[in-house]
Amino acid sequence: MSGHTPMQENSMRLDQSQLDQYRHDGYLVFPSLLSPDEVAVLDADVPMLQSDRRRHADANVHTTAGGIRSSYSPRLDSHAFEALVRIDRILEPIRQLLDGEVYLYQSRLNAKPRGDQGAAWQWHQDFPSWYHDGIPAPRLATALIFVSDVTQDNAPLTIIPRGHRQQEDYFYETEQTGYALHSLTPDALDKLTAEHPPVQLTGVAGTVVFFDCLLPHCSGASRTDAPRNLMFQVYNRDDNRPAGDQWRRPHRSPWLLERDTPVLASVSGQALTALAPAA
């Protein structure tokens, strides 16, 4: 299921039917919301971000096999990814979906080395983990940007449509993939998949998916050498900042959560292409 045809102008507002669809399904898909030229600017910084050459190398998390799993806070070391956080084609819909001003709570560029099970993500809803970072309520949304083409063979994100309507039972899993996560219990997963068959999110680079913080999702290991880089930009409503005294989960990177968290102002739709090297 997808949203309406995207527009490449300086801003984009969702109409009422799109807002209703998001509330109903928990996600919206916009194929080619970013142009090939914009994707090329992002992709040019990926090798640096996924290496020790980045200034904040401790923001990268590796699998036990040594492959890159996640590069947190790419905007620390990339002007392109900093612009991507604020580009109005993404930020304006996020404000609408969360009904208020927002800040960047977390961002990460996730990779999929071929056959590396350590790069898989078990079935989960995001909010239970973020609750254990101190977030009071599920008022967050993720903008998922395809920096690479995503196919059935290179481990697409798989979701359960409409599974966002309540928080399901979960447990703190530390064994399955080597990445501790608040995962769905087997009973909760069986119930959800019986009601709504899972959907794989595939598409060309430049596709953007907006999804709710309670939408169940997972991803497996890649079966191909083709790159599969997905950028996750998690936005939190400004009045939903961390609070409370709940148990806080440990983090594998000191940069897993954003440290610079002002309310975000938009940048123009040309912000990415302006960073392209001169021909």
Q: Which fold has domain 30-238?
A: Jelly Rolls (2.60.120)
In the predicted model, is pLDDT for residue 26 greater than 60? yes
Would you state the torsion angle of the CA atoms of residues 26, 212, 172, 61, taken in this order, to the nearest 10 degrees? 120
Would you state the torsion angle of the CA atoms of residues 119, 80, 135, 70, taken in this order, to the nearest 10 degrees? 10
pLDDT of the residue at 178: 52
Query: Around Cβ 247, how many Cβ atoms within 10 Å?
Result: 8
Q: Where are the domains of the chain?
A: 30-238
Q: Are 57 and 48 in contact (CB under 8 A)?
A: no
pLDDT category at 9 given cuts 50, 70, 90 is very low
pLDDT digits (tens, 9 = 90+) for 184-197: 999 999 999 999 99
Helix-, strand-, coil-residue percentages of the chain, each rounded to 5: 25, 25, 50
